[in-house]
Amino acid sequence: MSDARQPASRATARSTEQDAALRATSLIHQGWRQLARLAPAAPACWLASPGQPLRPLSRAELMARVDAWHQWLDNLPAAHAGRRPGARWVLFQPTALGACVQLLALWERGMLAVLPGDDRPETLARLAESCDGKLPETSAAGWPPEQSGAASSVAAPNTPFEITPDGARLALELCTSGSTGEPLRIAKRFDQLEAELAVHRTLWPLATDASGTDSASEPGTVSLSQVSHQHIYGLLVSLLRPLSEGVPFLSEACHYPEQLAAAIAQLSGLGYRCQLVSSPAQLARLPQASDESRVASQAQDQVLRVFSSGAPLPAEAARHAENCLQAPVIEIYGSTETGGIAHRRQHETPHWTPLPEVELRFSPAFAVRSPFLEQPDQWWQQADNAAPLTPEPPSQGEQNNAPRFQLLGRSDRLVKLAGKRVSLSAVERCLSAQAEVLEVRCLPMPTRDHRLGAVVVMEESALPQDHASRRDLIARLRRALMPGFERIALPRYWRFVTRLPLNAQGKFTADSVARLFADLDDHRLPRWLGETSSGPQQLTLEAEVPDSLCYLEGHFAAQPLVPGVVMLKWARDLGRRLRLAGVGVQESRFQRLERIKFSNLLLPGMRFSLAATLVADSHGLRVDFRLESRAGLHASGRLRYGAETDDTPLSSPLNSPLSSPLSSPQTTPTPEAS
């Protein structure tokens, strides 16, 4: 009798252990609290501070910060709408740790987080109208404002609120951003998030056991991120997944290659491997190496895997990233609305494999059905075109038979110009077929009678460098379009770049479009064509001198040129965006110009780079700058700042009469080929 019961007892025990493991990784059941009770001293996060080694933050310490945010909410006035369950709070935090502790505090109280994609004042003001409040920025260590971490208790936390587990409860809202149209708010329930996290756990294990503690046979894993947690991909993969599985994450994103290399090296020295969550824009910035085998040997066994999402990764970039990091690069295809749809590793195949539980339909249009959708039983039509590699299975219900597929680009985007329908995709395909063109994005310009703008990606050697070569290139591209398109469909406004200015998620956003074409409406600006940076203290601007630049007026009739004082102004404006150990020149007083040299004339149409670096020395802060083009060096020098605060504009010579057009920009019509 007892022998007959033994297998059932063991099965019951196994079932209980599995249930406990599932609860420990569950967002619905507040698994982070259970993990903290299981191993309070285990690291939950690694704190990154400028110039300091990484420091572990335990699970108990993480929960103490969550409890501190509960106290912050409790201290709100009794009538504040943000105290009640169901309250909606705008949450924008620059660090993953800050977002984590606030998000958990809201969820434990049954509240909803609204995650804006950026912190621009107009974005936050728009969201504030429909929310109960905006959470303030945390300290670097995750505490509420004016709270000292040293004075705070880190005793084993207790769950402050008992919220009934409910997968159908809304967890958060995400705000999408695109190249056109108003941002959308996409709501996500807990069961949607849980379903996608479960798929990731199945496909890409993080080498930990169910309790979240490191397996004895595997090195520990730390999650590093180069993308924003304010978007669905970064939130799921770089924050919620390590949090739910007890894997520590880095407190802030490694935006620059130098930061990433330092974090990987330090964690490797501590016995950890890293899982990197990145994007095409970030992976494209990995340093090139003439000896890839040397780079590979340095990265050997330090990186478990690399994720990339936001846009398809070019094949060469995928190969280079794998060689540099010596780890598989996994691309995830999806969107905010759909969640993940498919994955691929280009080292193995250029085609996409649907994620488990995801159904695909290719006819009459490419559509998706999955548990990650708001309505999991309905088909969601994609904006992309796709084709299966094998005949579509007869029954869409058979998940395992979902075929691999290839993406064929965006569906035709039709716009009306002067009453005529124009396919932006067709214009892009025609331009992309030209020998010197690598990629094209076309878009209607709402403030310019909806004439088309074109952003053209080219090799650096093929870029126009002056007025004449730019006009010749535009003329050639327009001639290529003329046989197949009416004149209204020919782009009028052109920008030539070496890469699309994408955000951290690999998106070509409305903000990037606005910067590329800002000089059309503000004739004080150079024509912005992109930026590169090696850290917050250094920035290089790529730009052109527009023919409509207001400072050209009066300098001079025979040959217009950019005055030296304007080059100094551009250097000052760029330098004001730099930070060194969190400090910039905005808080300092301008003292003087040093080592100023003007070596060559800067003429209309010239393409140039302006590099600025913030340096601290015994005299205070200074901005070193160099403005140069293919013609050579045009200007260089230093802007010296002291410690005194002064809100007045930069003093002479930038306040000379030469800069008077700052207050009265020219508004002459833009030439046809702008």
For the chain, the straight-line distance linking the first and the last C-alpha, in angstroms and rounded, comes to 90
Tokens 């046989």: give the residue. 483
Say which amino acid occupies 195: A
- Classify each residue of 265-283 as buried b or exposed e, where b means 16 or more C-beta atoms within 10 Å of its C-beta: eebbeeebbbbbbbbbbbb
For residue range 181-199, list pLDDT tens digits in order.
456 789 999 999 999 999 9
Of 312-316, 338-342, 524-528, 562-566, the one with minimum mean pLDDT is 312-316
Please report the pLDDT score of residue 643 as a whole number.
64
Taking the C-alpha atoms of residue 179 and residue 527, their distance in angstroms, rounded to an integer, is: 19
Taking the C-alpha atoms of residue 67 and residue 157, their distance in angstroms, rounded to an integer, is: 7
- Length of the chain, please? 674
Summarize the confidence of residues 162-191 as an average pLDDT: 79
Mean pLDDT estimate for the chain: 84
Summarize the confidence of residues 641-648 as an average pLDDT: 59
Taking the C-alpha atoms of residue 306 and residue 320, their distance in angstroms, rounded to an integer, is: 12
Per the omega criterion (within 30 degrees of 0), is the bond before 671 cis?
Answer: no
pTM of the model: 0.74
Please report the pLDDT score of residue 384 as a whole number.
87
Contact 497, 526 (CB under 8 A): no
Taking the C-alpha atoms of residue 231 and residue 173, their distance in angstroms, rounded to an integer, is: 10
Please report the pLDDT score of residue 674 as a whole number.
53
Q: Give residue 592's pLDDT band: very low, low, confident or very high (50, 70, 90).
A: very high
DSSP-assigned letter for residue 195: H
Contact 88, 130 (CB under 8 A): yes
Tokens 């488990």: give the residue. 356
Question: What tokens does 423 get?
Answer: 């396919």
Contact 339, 366 (CB under 8 A): no
Hey, which residues does 380 pair with through a beta bridge? 368
Q: Label residue 376 exposed, middle or buried (CB < 10 Å: 0-12, 13-18, 19+).
A: middle
Of the candidates 670, 438, 446, 458, the residue with the CA atom closest to the CA atom of residue 548: 670
Taking the C-alpha atoms of residue 357 and residue 400, their distance in angstroms, rounded to an integer, is: 8
Contact 176, 114 (CB under 8 A): no
For residue range 231-285, list pLDDT tens digits in order.
999 999 999 999 999 999 999 999 888 889 999 999 999 999 999 999 988 888 8
For residue range 329-383, list pLDDT tens digits in order.
999 999 999 999 999 999 999 999 999 999 999 999 999 999 999 999 999 999 8
Of 107-121, 233-247, 248-262, 501-515, the one with minimum mean pLDDT is 501-515
Composition of the chain by helix, strand, coil, percent to 5 = 30, 25, 45
Q: Give residue 586's pLDDT band: very low, low, confident or very high (50, 70, 90).
A: confident
Taking the C-alpha atoms of residue 291 and residue 116, their distance in angstroms, rounded to an integer, is: 42
Q: Give residue 11's pLDDT band: very low, low, confident or very high (50, 70, 90).
A: very low
- For 443, list phi and psi in degrees, rounded to 5: -155, 145
Q: Give residue 218's pLDDT band: very low, low, confident or very high (50, 70, 90).
A: low
Please report the pLDDT score of residue 402 as a whole number.
66
Taking the C-alpha atoms of residue 396 and residue 416, their distance in angstroms, rounded to an integer, is: 37
Summarize the confidence of residues 594-603 as an average pLDDT: 95
Say which amino acid occupies 513: V
**DSSP letter string over 482-496?**
TTTS-GGGS-SEEEE
Taking the C-alpha atoms of residue 563 and residue 389, their distance in angstroms, rounded to an integer, is: 59
DSSP-assigned letter for residue 82: G
Task: Describe the crossing of helices 31-38 and 59-74 by its angle, rounded to 10 degrees.
Answer: 130
How many Cβ atoms from other residues are within 10 Å of residue 217's Cβ?
A: 6
pLDDT at 5 over 50: no
Of the candidates 16, 74, 66, the residue with the CA atom closest to the CA atom of residue 36: 66
Element (H, E) at 96: helix 96-108
pLDDT at 638 over 80: yes
Percent of the chain with pLDDT over 70: 81
pLDDT at 551 over 80: yes
Q: Give CA 584 to chain center in angstroms.
A: 23
For residue range 50-63, list pLDDT tens digits in order.
778 999 999 999 99
How many Cβ atoms from other residues are within 10 Å of residue 515's Cβ?
A: 18
Summarize the confidence of residues 123-144 as an average pLDDT: 91
Q: Give CA 241 to chain center in angstroms.
A: 18
Say which amino acid occupies 431: L
Of 63-67, 148-152, 547-551, the one with minimum mean pLDDT is 148-152
Contact 194, 218 (CB under 8 A): no
Q: Is the dihedral of CA 386, 392, 398, 401 positive or negative?
A: negative
Q: Give residue 648's pLDDT band: very low, low, confident or very high (50, 70, 90).
A: very low
How many Cβ atoms from other residues are within 10 Å of residue 15's Cβ?
A: 10
Please report the pLDDT score of residue 462 as a whole number.
93
Task: Describe the crossing of helices 59-74 and 96-108 by its angle, rounded to 10 degrees.
Answer: 60
Please report the pLDDT score of residue 669 as a whole number.
36
Summarize the confidence of residues 215-242 as an average pLDDT: 87
Tokens 């494209």: give the residue. 284
C-alpha to C-alpha distances, 140 to 6, 65, 99, 150, 262, nearest whole angstrom: 53, 12, 11, 13, 19
Taking the C-alpha atoms of residue 11 and residue 670, their distance in angstroms, rounded to an integer, is: 77
Summarize the confidence of residues 632-654 as an average pLDDT: 70
Please report the pLDDT score of residue 396 as a whole number.
47
Summarize the confidence of residues 381-410 as an average pLDDT: 72
Summarize the confidence of residues 380-388 as an average pLDDT: 90
H helix runs in 482-563, sequence order: 510-516
Say which amino acid occupies 567: M
Q: Give residue 403's pLDDT band: very low, low, confident or very high (50, 70, 90).
A: confident
Please report the pLDDT score of residue 214 as a whole number.
47
pLDDT at 664 over 90: no
Q: Label residue 475 exposed, middle or buried (CB < 10 Å: 0-12, 13-18, 19+).
A: exposed
Per DSSP bridges, beta strands 437-444 and 452-458 are antiparallel
- Classify each residue of 37-54 as buried b or exposed e, where b means 16 or more C-beta atoms within 10 Å of its C-beta: ebbbebbbbbbbeeeeeb
Taking the C-alpha atoms of residue 359 and residue 649, their distance in angstroms, rounded to an integer, is: 60
Percent of the chain with pLDDT over 90: 60
Summarize the confidence of residues 129-155 as an average pLDDT: 78
Contact 244, 29 (CB under 8 A): no
Taking the C-alpha atoms of residue 312 and residue 644, their distance in angstroms, rounded to an integer, is: 49
Q: Give residue 161's pLDDT band: very low, low, confident or very high (50, 70, 90).
A: low
